[in-house]
Amino acid sequence: MAASPQVGGVADAVFRHADEDPHRVALGRKSADGQWRDVSAGQFRDEVLALAKGLLAQGVRFGDRVAIMSRTRYEWTLFDFALWTVGAQPVPVYPTASADQVLWTLHDSEVVACVVENEDHAMTIASVIDRLPGLTLLWQLDSEDALEDLVASGAQVEDDVVHRHRRAVTPDTVATVIYTSGTTGRPKGCVLTHANFMTETDTVIARWEPVFRPSPGDEASTLLFLPLAHVFGRMVEVAAIRGKVKLGHQPAMVAKELLPDLTAFRPTFILAVPYIFEKVYHAARRRAEASGRTGAFDRAVELAVRYAEAAEDKAFGTGPGPSASLRMQHQLYEKLVYGKVRDAMGGRVRHAMSGGSAMERRLGLFFAGAGVTIYEGYGLTESTAAATANPPERTRFGTVGLPLPGTTVHIADDGEVWLHGGHVFAGYLNDPVASEAVLHDGWLSTGDIGALDEYGYLTITGRKKEILVTSGGKSVSPTGLEERVRSHPLVAQCIVVGNDRPYIAALVTLDLEAVEHWRAMQGKPPLAPKDLVRDPELETEVRRSVVAANTMVSQAESIRTFRILAHQFTEEQGLLTPSLKLKRKAIERAYEVEVNALYR
């Protein structure tokens, strides 16, 4: 594991790396004309220093909190490291946050300044500014010359003033306050220190060396498209800068915008949520269907799964590895299928990390067989992102891996996962009662239910607060059922209901792009969403996914009936968190009529 940091803070790496090799490419920045341009370590250091001067000139002081409300973009990373350089604390705010959410976050964290991306965000702040007397500064990234003016205001500040602030930062200094998604109540501010981030990122970099240190002569690079308001995205940002990984930013986690930038940026690895890998897989299959090669694609998938399973067995000493025949067949599909799947991710990706929610084992095996090993992991905001992850040499698909070096995992008597390590947070801001409820002598009680297998690999089976109890007294964890239904290419989302009800049921939404393609392959015209929900053939397809999910559980835990909805759950409706998790209570309230109909 990485040694616990004894001195300094997160931003020191920017200055150290620039001194060591100022010409090394540190970041890629997409310009207004859509072209990617390199930013050297020296350039980034100079930009961080200049912005830090501007922040000091305009009144930001050591320990001040500054909100950042934006999509993932280069300027966010620039502000993060400039703020860390002067000992300030960035407070991330999701760009889709409502005025009430913004008010609570900025009021609770007592921010003195705010960075917003555009005029809409500025208007949201303006709508609540009268209730935020401490907020005196606002900078808008898309406003002409705003960043230049901020930098210019610090032109007379001496470099040494900035460095005195930076040298005052210690590992115990608070680095950021990240608010939870609020799925079970009002969001809480997780206080994370510089030590939390340095311990987390330096451990990940050292343990996953094949990811962060590719073959000689091939620089490591990653395209960050996760929201920087989420701890996973923030961890990636810090790890890339500290680990000398070329970092690019992409603001939209939407396939049609993301895939072209993956092709242009050509990362060597990516970090994503399972949704992205599902999109890549389904897009590849639709292309195969459109060209009349469905059979060949499906055979390639089966072969990739078998190949990866054989390699997994060898790694765990339970098999000889892929046979000669399997290797020959695998080579046949390399150019026909596997290479094209990798090309969709830019062509150079050989490793990926996945978190945020569980990935289906079969999907992980397919990508491994296709030449991209996905290391699934698990963590929380309170653990500064990953607490466990699959190791490169012994990946166990369908699990979230082993504890990170220096981390201990304990399963409590009720099945709850407890964590201990240097990345565990310091507590919730202004909420000692909530802090005491989850922190016990350095141990973090996560609220997640899990189990360790005979090799020490962790599997997450659900959330304590999400366990459904039917009126007959049967306890059901909805997560596994939902994920199995959602694995069908035509299904976008699934929520299982049944708390205090006689049986388990589900609401299902559709992937309209996939459904349109499916109908086109049958020679049928597109249908409006309201008509799709009554299509008997589509209902039959969805029923297959429900039946498949039910094979995983007992009859008492199975989905007895379901209803297809015309529209997906969205963040804008308040039905998803920004990390795409279901807001169960909000969905059940919004679809109360449909849920009640499932029990008539």
In contact, 378 and 372? CB cutoff 8 Å: no
pLDDT in tens, 122-144: 999 999 999 999 999 999 999 88
Q: What residue has token string 């049928």?
A: 524
Average pLDDT in the 548-558 region?
Answer: 89
At 577, is the pLDDT very low, low, confident or very high (cuts 50, 70, 90)? confident
Average pLDDT in the 218-242 region?
Answer: 94
> In terms of domains, do 245 and 309 share one?
no
Domain-located, residue 268: no
pLDDT in tens, 150-171: 999 999 999 999 999 999 999 9
pLDDT on residue 2: 58
Mean pLDDT of the chain: 93
> In terms of domains, do 282 and 408 share one?
yes
Average pLDDT in the 308-318 region?
Answer: 97
| CATH code of 503's domain | 3.30.300.30
Last residue of a domain, one of 404, 428, 462: 462
> In terms of domains, do 412 and 474 share one?
no
At 18, is the pLDDT very low, low, confident or very high (cuts 50, 70, 90)? very high
pLDDT in tens, 200-210: 999 999 999 88
Residue numbers of the domain that contains 47: 12-208+222-253
pLDDT in tens, 316-371: 999 999 999 999 999 999 989 999 999 999 999 999 999 888 888 999 999 999 99
Q: 10 pLDDT exceeds 90?
A: yes
Domain-located, residue 174: yes
Q: 184 pLDDT exceeds 60?
A: no
> In terms of domains, do 162 and 297 share one?
no
DSSP assignments along 385-410, one per residue: EEEEE--TTS--TTS--EEPTT-EEE
* Structure tokens that stand for 517 in this block: 């393609």
> In terms of domains, do 58 and 178 share one?
yes
Q: In the chain, helix, strand, coil percent, each to 5?
A: 40, 20, 35
Whole-angstrom distance, CA of residue 174 vs CA of residue 191: 7
> In terms of domains, do 560 and 592 share one?
yes
Average pLDDT in the 288-314 region?
Answer: 95
Whole-angstrom distance, CA of residue 600 vs CA of residue 597: 5
Domain-located, residue 542: yes
> In terms of domains, do 143 and 103 share one?
yes
> In terms of domains, do 226 and 283 share one?
no
> In terms of domains, do 294 and 197 share one?
no
Domain-located, residue 426: no
Question: What's the structural domain count of the chain?
Answer: 3
At 555, is the pLDDT very low, low, confident or very high (cuts 50, 70, 90)? confident
pLDDT on residue 1: 54
Q: Which residues lie closer than 8 Å to 551 by C-beta, 6 or more apart?
A: none
Q: 566 pLDDT exceeds 80?
A: yes
At 218, is the pLDDT very low, low, confident or very high (cuts 50, 70, 90)? confident
> In terms of domains, do 21 and 79 share one?
yes
In the three-class reduction of DSSP (H, G, I as helix; E, B as strand; rest coil), residue 29 is classed as strand
Domain-located, residue 266: no
Domain-located, residue 436: no
Phi, psi of 26 (to 5 degrees): -100, -35
Domain-located, residue 427: no
pLDDT on residue 472: 80
> In terms of domains, do 230 and 363 share one?
no
At 252, is the pLDDT very low, low, confident or very high (cuts 50, 70, 90)? confident
What percent of the chain has a predicted confidence (pLDDT) above 70? 98
pLDDT on residue 161: 97
CA-angle at 46, arms to 45 and 49, nearest 5°: 85
Average pLDDT in the 19-35 region?
Answer: 94
Last residue of a domain, one of 403, 430, 462: 462
Residue 328: which H helix or E strand, with range?
helix 324-333
Phi, psi of 71 (to 5 degrees): -75, 175
| CATH code of 44's domain | 3.40.50.12780
Burial class (CB in 10 A: 0-12, 13-18, 19+), 272: buried
* Structure tokens that stand for 544 in this block: 């297959």
In contact, 82 and 48? CB cutoff 8 Å: yes
Indicate the angle between helix axes 12-20 and 41-57, nearest 10 degrees: 140
pLDDT on residue 531: 87
Output the CA–CA distances (angstroms, integers) from residue 354 to 231, 236, 330, 377, 396, in the order listed.
13, 12, 25, 6, 13
In the three-class reduction of DSSP (H, G, I as helix; E, B as strand; rest coil), residue 155 is classed as coil
> In terms of domains, do 98 and 123 share one?
yes
In contact, 277 and 352? CB cutoff 8 Å: yes
pLDDT in tens, 507-530: 999 999 899 999 988 888 888 888
Domain-located, residue 435: no
Q: What is the DSSP letter of 432?
A: H
The phi-psi region of residue 491 (left if phi > 0; otherwise alpha if psi is between -120 and 50; otherwise beta) is beta
